[in-house]
Amino acid sequence: MGLSRICRAAVVFLAFLLVVSVHAQDARAFYQSGLESMDREQYDQAIAAFQQAVELNPSYFDALTGLGYAYTLTGRFDEAIASYQQALALQPNSTFALRSLGYVHTQKGDYAGALAAFDRAVAIDPADAAAWTSRGLALSAMGRFNESVASYEKAIQITPTSFYPWFSLGMEYYGAGMYAGAVSAFDAALAIDERSSEAWNYRGLSLAALGRYQEAIESYNRGLIVDPDDAALMENREEAEAQLRAYVGEEGGIPWYAIAVPLVVVAVAAGGFLILRARKKGPGAGSYGTPPHGSPAGGSGAGDAGATGGPPGSHHDVFLSYSSQDKPVADAICAHLEARSVRCWIAPRDILPGTNYPRAIVDAIDGSRIMVLVFSSRSNHSHHVVRELSHAVSRGVIIVPFRIEDVQPSRDMEYLIGVPHWLDAMTPPLEQHIGRLGETVATLLSRGKERAG
């Protein structure tokens, strides 16, 4: 009799296991069906399938999170929150579920609830960069700027090659009116992924806010390469072009006296200075006491008015051509060459207010003996750089490419520059390569003087 009871209990237990196994298999089948419906963007069918999976297996964590995501995409936020909370009851330390819960709260506009979820996530896993980034977004929406920046910087510290923390940091700086910081952050983001038209757009807006219109236009153009139909990029580019025209006085955006008066003051001051200098130097000096073009003036270097006999850039030996994204390298080259008394022309430093920007570039190239090209993946595809090179070639200016990245020249570049004076600067330290560039430039200039003599 006892044996009979044991047998019956065993049969019932085996039957239970069989039912559970069948339900588990059915739950997995419904879960898979839900995933397939999500891929087809058939969210109502996905919800129904995930619900079936949960009914068959209430402890099915993946089905609960899938259900929460489907609810989120259909705007059923309260149901999504309930699904994620049910999943967290099963796995309280799931940072994935906590991030998802925080996202739903963000979509609802409940930023305090979102922050609470993200705080739990980073407390469980301090190395969760995605949670730190999402936390920064919630703090930003709450107007807590310093904390949001710190959260993005924490994410960057964890994954410095991730696009989204850098982009989010750029947007934070842009929203706060800190445009220089925004440009730096967007530069870092685009160095990771240059396919973001939105990053190019906001980088351009930041540059335009700084008055760097030409660089802003170039940024918008890069964005339009990624997305040629982006209406915001086209509109912002047109605005930057209009601002640039107004800045150089071609349209009525700046009153005539705002340009004329400063220029008269500069002209009078420069004229007085040159006359005094001519009296000091006496006969035999160049016109108004300035040295002939191309001869050393002595003094503190090319960037100094006392060395050149005029404002920076009015007499120079070297024109620096570069993409705006490589400006730090171009500035370092300029500083080194001018420390060696090699006079340089570099935009935008040497373009006076009220001057036509493109015409100033052409005139500067015409007055140069050497063009130093900062060659990188950015300048390789810059239409502005190509135009500068084309004009330099047509004028017989010596071109010295200073390659800071291991990239092959585009067809336009290869046609224009060839490889007669390539200088590679792809390995640190950069200062060593800039020193070699300085020696090369000095040698080329001295050869030119010998031929002229």
> What tens digit of pLDDT does each residue of 53-98 get?
899 999 999 999 999 999 999 999 999 999 999 999 999 999 999 9
Using alpha carbons, select from 295, 216, 213, 199 the residue that is nearest to residue 248: 213
Q: Where are the chain's structural domains? A: 161-251, 312-452
Across 319-357, b (16+ Cβ under 10 Å) vs e yields bbbbbbbbbebbeebbebbbeebbbbbbbeebbeebbeb
Mean pLDDT of 429-450: 86
Sheet harboring 370-375: ordered strands across? 344-345, 318-321, 370-375, 398-403, 423-424
DSSP 98-142: HHHHHHHHHHHT-HHHHHHHHHHHHHH-TT-HHHHHHHHHHHHHT
The mean pLDDT value for 180-194 works out to 93
DSSP element (H, E) containing 451 = helix 430-452
In DSSP terms, which residues pair with 28 in a beta bridge?
none
What does the pLDDT look like over 275-299, one tens digit per residue?
444 444 443 333 323 333 333 333 3
Q: State the residue for tokens 């108004």.
A: 288
The yes-or-no verdict on residue 152 having pLDDT over 90 is yes
Which residue has better confidence, 100 or 305? Answer: 100
Q: Is 224:233 a contact under the CB 8 Å cutoff?
A: yes
The radius of gyration of the chain's CA atoms, rounded to the nearest angstrom, is 32
Task: Note whether 31 and 49 are within 8 A (CB).
Answer: yes
Return the H-helix or E-strand segment holding 334. helix 327-339
Helix crossing, 163-175 with 129-141: angle to 10°? Answer: 20
pTM: 0.53
- For 141-201, the DSSP string reads HTT-HHHHHHHHHHHHHH-TT-HHHHHHHHHHHHHTT-HHHHHHHHHHHHHH-TT-HHHHH
| Burial class of residue 140, CB neighbours in 10 A (0-12, 13-18, 19+) | buried
Beta strands in 328-369 (DSSP E): 344-345
Contact 392, 399 (CB under 8 A): yes
Percent of the chain at pLDDT > 90 equals 40
Distance (Å, whole) CA 420 – CA 153: 44
Q: Which CATH superfamily is domain 312-452 in?
A: Toll/interleukin-1 receptor homology (TIR) domain (3.40.50.10140)
pLDDT of residue 252: 41
pLDDT at 361: 87
At the fourth CATH level, the homologous superfamily of domain 161-251 is Tetratricopeptide repeat domain (1.25.40.10)
Place of tokens 């757009």: 201
Q: Is the pLDDT of residue 47 over 90?
A: yes
Return the pLDDT at 452.
Answer: 58
> Of residues 106 and 245, which shows the higher confidence score?
106
Cβ distance 135 to 122 under 8 Å?
Answer: yes
- Rounded CA gap, 351 and 82, in Å? 62
Q: Are 200 and 223 in contact (CB under 8 A)?
A: yes
Q: Do domains 161-251 and 312-452 have the same CATH topology?
A: no
pLDDT band, very low/low/confident/very high, at 362 (cuts 50, 70, 90): confident
Residue 171's Cβ-side half-sphere holds a number of Cα atoms within 13 Å equal to: 16
Strand 370-375 versus strand 318-321 pairing type? parallel
DSSP 410: P
pLDDT in tens, 370-393: 999 999 998 888 888 888 888 888
* pLDDT for res 71: 93
Q: How many CB atoms lie within 10 A of CB 233?
A: 24
Residue 310 reports pLDDT greater than 80: no
